[in-house]
Amino acid sequence: MRKLYYLVNHEFRSLYRIILVICIVMIALQQVLLVKSMNYNPNRFERFEFLFSDSGCIIVFLVCLFSVCGLCVFNAYSNYTESKSIYTLLTLPSPREYIYFSKIITYAVCFLTLLASQIISAWMGYGIFCRRILSQRFASTAVRPASNGLFLTFIRLDFFRLILPFGVESFLNSLAIFICLICTIYYAVICERSKRYLSFAAVILNLALIILSLVHRTGSMTVSVLNESGHIHVLKAALFLATAFIVYDSLRLIRKSAVV
Amino acid sequence: MVFMGRLVKNIILVFSIPAVLITVFTYGFMAARKDSSTFFLRDLEGDRSVLNDIVISGYLEDRYHGRYFELKNGTLESSFLYYQHQDDIAGLKKPQNLVNAVIHNDFVYYYQFEYKISPGAKTEEQPEKNMPAANNPSLRRSTVFTDSIDIHVKITKRPADFTAPDFDLASLYLDPGLRYENSSMDIEFYRYLSDVEYQSVYTDYSLNPGSFPAPLPKLAMTVLNDELYFSVVCPEEYSGHNGIYKAVKFYRWWDETEYPGIVDTITEFSLDDPVIEAAGLEAVNDNLVLLLFENSVFKARLYNTRGDLMDELAVPGITSTEGLPEYQGFINDNCLNIFLKYANEEGFSKYIVLSIMADEDNRLILKHRTEKNSTGEIYPFDIESRGDRLYIAAFTRNMEEIMKYSASWLTPGHFMIHAYETKNGITLPVYAGELVTDAADDYNRHLYTSDTSPGNLSYYRVFESVRIEQR
């Protein structure tokens, strides 16, 4: 395990500065957008969750999320272009699975850091929002920040329901999406490096399952076949099964040195 | 430097531990705050011990979360519900207060009226030249004026599961002999001619409801012993016949019959002499109660399912001289609790609540009667009669509050609980209380603005599935 821990730290050392910058930029941009949105007069009594979603904060998060995805891909390919290459890693006196899991754990921490930054941003934004509401002229007569407003934002905004699910089913679904996304990104690189282009079908399938889950979670009120409550269990099971397959296949390819 | 070196060596922990802690802390915050919303019963009048006979339950919910509450023994208990899919939403499980439908045994029965120009009525047609309707050059419209129309009833039955395909649509039609005659030819029909090269292929008439000089009829529907009974609600302007009817057989849409369906007439009466205005139909104790105004006097008539009149109760002081009141009925055991609302143009409304009991000897007895004048809006959730007490759970909006918001329907309301006691034929209030919540915060975005676009109404917390039951 010490070797795995060492490998994880080694992988993360090449990423943490960029992750830090992405997180700081995301928090700063979101605060700017929120303040801009609050200054717009028709929004003076708007709920925080609508302010957050309408101000573009979610788009900022998505841009950062895709940046982190790109960073993970870049990191995987850097083993083929920089020192401490895949050849070095494969000759280390440690199980080859450690190479795979060190990458997955590193990417998971990158995404987790981004999620935590998003939560910090929401807390900060809500603090600014409350001060803003209380400083308004109308505040003395009727309007206060909504009671329990931040909690309601976490509960009622589809975006936060995805990243901070508050129910067991939703939590498992979000966890499945999270794990599936990380494993799929790395699996796509492994498939390309090992020239297993047919395996991209599994990548596409996993991405489709992730998209279907997101549609189900965010559009549950729309009239579609996806709104059946049983479908979320099927999707969750499919995500875990598909993830299990790509983890198995990734390990198989790494053990066979097919990625070289 | 050594410390920095250690940090860099364990950089994964430097990032992952705070990230996990922040997430866990936020979950802790959410767990702690889930029951922190404002939710309590404020006594406004009387002693809440009068509520000990009943249990009031319901949900305060939006599409994302809800709070189930139960008021029992004067104690309000509530629990937080996190909705994860559509089936969790209480308001969608069993729709209430349907405008033109009833739900029974997994089927929805909804009605519509078909308006036909009476046979032999005077008509005058004004073609709308070069005016293709609906941007369709082969569909042309003309306006037909008439002074007399016949009203036919159409009831459609479909599965209550609206996500299921509606292949099972089935309908029945009835021409009860109901007519509206006007002194002038003001009633407008649109006549659509669908033609190819202006050779008529078919014509279709549709009433312009805006031209109709009287309130349009409604249908009162009730279910008794798994069978659907109905009667047409219409004011004094209508003539001809009305009655109580039983839907016997619905025909599927592919049965090519001009007037499909089988309807049994339970009882039939003329609307003209005396002048009868049907107001509602309810099923109580295996019998049917028809509510009507006979020469402007409010009456409840008890019929059995064979159509025999078993009893009649006249309630003085309730008239239809200013039009038919809006009506809602609530049944508990053998009591029919009636909510009547008279609204005038100045914004004042008069609300009357009656409780009529059908006893074992099939007699109708007036148990409670109370009325209130108000400038606000009142919408009852449930009304229950227990012994000598009458309980009302209602949603109210004050006029002063309505003025602050962009529209009355975007104004937060109050959940009010009223209890009355009847002694020696006089009904007096004994308790009033308000279930205070913070749901009004959801409507703040409509304060002091003229913008009436609400977005999705399911983003606002509302009370659903409110019930008053015996303890």
pLDDT of residue B201: 54
Task: Please state, as a whole number, how many other Cβ atoms lie within 10 Å of the Cβ of residue B307.
Answer: 15
Work out the average pLDDT over B58-77. 93
My answer on whether omega of the bond before A95 falls inside 30° of 0, hence cis, is no
Number of helices and strands (H, E) in chain A?
11, 0
For A:39-78, CB contacts with B below 8 A are 42, 45-47, 50
Across chain A, mean pLDDT equals 86
Point out the least confidently predicted range of A65-74, B70-79, B117-126, B201-210: B201-210
pLDDT tens digits for B350-381? Answer: 899 999 999 989 999 999 999 988 888 899 99
Point out the least confidently predicted range of B105-109, B190-194, B392-396: B190-194
**In this complex, is the C-beta atom of A222 within 8 Å of any C-beta atom belonging to chain B?**
no
> Is B32 exposed, middle or buried, given 0-12, 13-18 or 19+ CB atoms closer than 10 A?
exposed
Distance in angstroms (rounded) separating the CA atoms of residues B206 and B190: 5
pLDDT of residue A226: 45
**In this complex, is the C-beta atom of A170 within 8 Å of any C-beta atom belonging to chain B?**
yes
Work out the average pLDDT over B165-184. 84
In the predicted model, is pLDDT for residue B392 greater than 80? yes
Point out the least confidently predicted range of B41-50, B125-134, B225-234, B444-453: B125-134
Measured between beta carbons, the chain A residues lying within 8 angstroms of B14 are 16
Report which of residues B450 and B262 the model is more confident about.
B262
Point out the least confidently predicted range of A238-242, B124-128, B191-195, B452-456: B452-456
Q: Which range has the top average pLDDT, A12-26, A41-55, A245-259?
A: A12-26
In sequence order, the β-bridge partners of residue B154 are B112, B173
**In this complex, is the C-beta atom of B16 within 8 Å of any C-beta atom belonging to chain A?**
yes
Say if residues B290 and B234 touch (Cβ distance below 8 Å).
no
Express as a percent the part of chain B with pLDDT over 70: 90
Say if residues B145 and B181 touch (Cβ distance below 8 Å).
no
pLDDT of residue A225: 45
Measured between beta carbons, the chain B residues lying within 8 angstroms of A5 are 12
Across chain B, mean pLDDT equals 87
The domain locations on chain A are: 1-164, 165-260
pLDDT tens digits for A184-208? Answer: 999 999 999 888 888 899 999 999 9
Point out the least confidently predicted range of A119-133, B1-15, B361-375, B379-393: B1-15
In the predicted model, is pLDDT for residue B311 greater than 90? yes
Distance in angstroms (rounded) separating the CA atoms of residues B160 and B176: 27
Distance in angstroms (rounded) separating the CA atoms of residues B334 and B427: 19
Nearest Cα of chain A lies from the Cα of B21 at a distance, in angstroms, of 9
**In this complex, is the C-beta atom of A115 within 8 Å of any C-beta atom belonging to chain B?**
yes
pLDDT tens digits for A100-115? Answer: 899 999 999 999 999 9
In the predicted model, is pLDDT for residue B6 greater than 50? yes
pLDDT of residue A71: 95
In the predicted model, is pLDDT for residue B464 greater than 50? yes
Express as a percent the part of chain A with pLDDT over 90: 56
pLDDT tens digits for A10-31? Answer: 889 989 999 999 999 999 999 9
**Prediction pTM value:** 0.85
Distance in angstroms (rounded) separating the CA atoms of residues B321 and B326: 14
In the predicted model, is pLDDT for residue B204 greater than 80? no
Q: Which of A143, A148, A164 sits opposite B26 (nearest CB)?
A: A164
Report which of residues B456 and A69 the model is more confident about.
A69
Of residues B351, B271, B358, B348, the one with CA closest to residue B311: B358
Q: What is the full DSSP assignment across B456-469?
A: -GGGS-EEEEEEEE
Distance in angstroms (rounded) separating the CA atoms of residues B383 and B394: 8
**In this complex, is the C-beta atom of B162 within 8 Å of any C-beta atom belonging to chain A?**
yes
The domain locations on chain B are: 2-31, 40-93+325-471, 99-323
In the predicted model, is pLDDT for residue A224 greater than 60? no
Q: What is the ipTM of this complex?
A: 0.91
pLDDT of residue A138: 57
Report which of residues A140 and A239 the model is more confident about.
A239
> Is B79 exposed, middle or buried, given 0-12, 13-18 or 19+ CB atoms closer than 10 A?
exposed
pLDDT tens digits for B75-109? Answer: 999 999 999 877 788 887 766 667 788 888 888 89
In sequence order, the β-bridge partners of residue B195 are B200
Confidence class for position B404, pLDDT limits 50, 70, 90: confident
Q: Which of A50, A155, A221 sits opposite B82 (nearest CB)?
A: A155
> Is B218 exposed, middle or buried, given 0-12, 13-18 or 19+ CB atoms closer than 10 A?
buried
Three-state DSSP class for B40? strand
pLDDT of residue A113: 96
Q: How many CA atoms lie within 13 A of B19 on its CB side?
A: 20
Of residues B447, B416, B448, the one with CA closest to residue B432: B416
**In this complex, is the C-beta atom of A80 within 8 Å of any C-beta atom belonging to chain B?**
no
Confidence class for position B209, pLDDT limits 50, 70, 90: confident
In the predicted model, is pLDDT for residue A99 greater than 80? yes
